[in-house]
Every structure is written in C-alpha cells, then in structure tokens.
C-alpha cells in the first residue's frame, strides 16, 4: 500500500526539473498525475513519457502568480480528472542573482517573492477549500537549503521567500490538521536538474560535491522519493515539518 495509487496529484512546475521527476514517480505508483507549467511543448514531452510507461496524466497551463489563472486550472482539474487529493506546490526558482542586499533590484525582489511565496500561497488558497470540505488532502510545499540557513552569498529574495514558505506551511498544517489534512515541506540542496547540469560548470559541481557529507549532488528522484513519503499514508502522523533533502549539506553549514 503506497498511499498515492488512484489519488489525484497536482504537481505544479512539472514541465521539467524536480517537478517532472515527482510526476514520473507518482504516476509509476498509480497516481492520476496533473502536470503543470507554462511551456506546452515541455509539458507534452513529460506527458508522453508518463503515458508510454503506462501512467495516467492530464496537464494544465497557467501562471501561478495570478489567482484567476490558478482558480481556472483548479476547476479544469476537478472537471477533467476529479477533486485534488494531493498538492505538490513545487513551482518556483530564484529570479534575481546573489549579491549584497542593497544591489537587489525592486523587480528582482518582486519576481522572486511572487514566483515562490505568492505562487505557493495562491495555490494553497485555491485548493484548500475543497480539501477542507472533503476532510481529506495532503500538501507538500518546496523550500530550498537557501531558506534553511544564512550564507554570505545567499540569493536573499529567494532565501526569504523560501523561509516564508516553510513557516506558511507550518501555520497551514496547524490550521488544517483538524480537517484531516496534512502539510509538510521539502528543502532540497543543489539538484542536478537539466537546467543545473547546463548552468553549473563541471569544476563547480565537483566543488559543491565536497560540501556534502554524502558526496554527490542530488537528483530529481531524490526529491521525488521524499515527496512520495510525505504525500503517502506512510507519513500519516507527520505534519508541519521541513524535510532537508540535502545529502547532509544543510547540517554542516
């Protein structure tokens, strides 16, 4: 009994990267997966892979920083595949470069806070009324090691937004526990997604490996297995935690 079979699981930001890894694992475990992103061709290729492996999926397209679009996607999911049992609020990223706080632009700040904290808030706001009415649901949000501890080269808007997601997840867990709903967070360290493979030069990847007690960088599958645990009945008495998926890196610096 893995706990996600036959469940409708909306995985935001699953057109690529970590979200695509979560979607593939959940589909392989029998969930009805709802893929999401803005890039239709990337979504189509993840969907084709899932369906070629015998999985079930649908996809929705929209910008999570706009509540009207989030609501339209939620309604499309409910009409197309049924009520949402599991929300993995994964979409996000760092949209301003690291550097001294006074050099962060106003646009970079807003883009990063909206693209992470606001997007997660709006998705929870849309999905929770139905979960509360059904007295059932599981939520997993996505932070980052940047939100777990300070570092002089931290991308500050991203770190602040992710730390906000962690506390919001705990507050939500406290509010919705009596309705039979759990909310937890995962906080990955560097994950070798397609984008990071291209963006981080090989020599820097080697240096990063040395900062991890488990001497390798993470994979989307590492995060997917943590999300599966938190979304399944295996974790039925766990709520309000942030689970570091970090090869031990967060612990030592």
Ligand X SMILES: NC(=O)c1ccc[n+]([C@@H]2O[C@H](COP(=O)([O-])OP(=O)(O)OC[C@H]3O[C@@H](n4cnc5c(N)ncnc54)[C@H](OP(=O)(O)O)[C@@H]3O)[C@@H](O)[C@H]2O)c1
Nearer to ligand X, 173 or 191 (CB): 191
Determine the length of the chain: 253
Three-state secondary structure call for residue 136: coil
Backbone angles phi, psi at 89, to 5 degrees: -90, 80
- Distance between CA 146 and CA 96 in Å, rounded? 13
Q: Is-contact 182 173, C-beta < 8 A?
A: yes
Long-range contacts, stretch 63-68, CB < 8 angstroms, 24+ apart: 63/38, 64/12, 64/91, 64/115, 64/119, 64/122, 64/123, 65/114, 65/115, 65/118, 65/119, 65/122, 66/122, 67/122, 67/125, 67/126
Residue in 81, 158, 172, 222 annotated catalytic: 158
CA distance 124 to 128: 6
**Residue closer to ligand X, measured from CB, 190 or 232:** 190
Nearer to ligand X by C-beta: 37 or 247? 37
Question: Measured at CB, which residue is nearest to ligand X?
Answer: 17
Shortest distance, position 136 Cβ to ligand X, whole Å: 25
Which of 14/235 has CB closer to ligand X? Answer: 14
Q: How far is the CB of 15 from ligand X (least distance, A)?
A: 4
Residue ranges binding ligand X (CB under 6 A): 13-19, 37-39, 42, 63-65, 90-93, 115, 119, 142, 144, 188, 190-191, 193, 195-196
What is the C-alpha to C-alpha distance for residues 9 and 22, in angstroms, rounded to an integer?
Answer: 10
**Phi/psi of residue 246, nearest 5 degrees:** -145, 10
Task: Compare residues 184 and 190 and give the one whose CB is closer to ligand X.
Answer: 190
Query: Does the annotation count 1 as an active-site position?
Result: no
Is the separation of the CB atoms in 35 and 58 below 8 Å? yes
Whole-number minimum distance, CB 79 to ligand X, in Å? 20
Residues classed as catalytic: 158
């Amino acid at each position: 009994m893995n706990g996600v079979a036959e469940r409708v699981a909306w995985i935001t930001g699953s057109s690529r990267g970590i979200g695509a890894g979560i979607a593939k694992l959940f589909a392989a475990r029998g969930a009805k997966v709802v893929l999401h992103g803005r890039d239709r061709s990337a979504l189509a290729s993840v969907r084709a892979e899932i369906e070629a492996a015998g999985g079930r999926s649908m996809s929705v397209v929209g910008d999570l920083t706009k509540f009207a679009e989030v609501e339209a996607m939620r309604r499309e999911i409910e009409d197309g595949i049924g009520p949402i049992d599991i929300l993995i609020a994964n979409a996000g990223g760092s949209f301003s470069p690291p550097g001294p706080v006074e050099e962060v632009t106003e646009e970079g700040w807003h883009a990063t806070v909206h693209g992470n904290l606001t997007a997660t808030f709006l998705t929870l706001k849309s999905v929770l009324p139905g979960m509360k009415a059904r007295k059932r649901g599981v939520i997993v949000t996505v932070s980052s090691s940047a939100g777990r501890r300070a570092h002089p080269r931290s991308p500050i808007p991203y770190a602040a937004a992710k730390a906000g997601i962690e506390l919001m997840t705990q507050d939500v867990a406290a509010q919705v526990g009596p309705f039979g709903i759990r909310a937890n967070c995962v906080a990955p360290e560097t994950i070798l997604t397609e984008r990071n493979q291209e963006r981080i030069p090989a020599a820097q990847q080697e240096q990063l490996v040395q900062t991890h007690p488990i001497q390798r960088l993470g994979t989307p599958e590492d995060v997917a297995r943590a999300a599966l645990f938190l979304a399944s009945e295996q974790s039925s008495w766990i709520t309000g935690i942030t689970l570091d998926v970090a090869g031990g890196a967060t612990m030592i610096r």
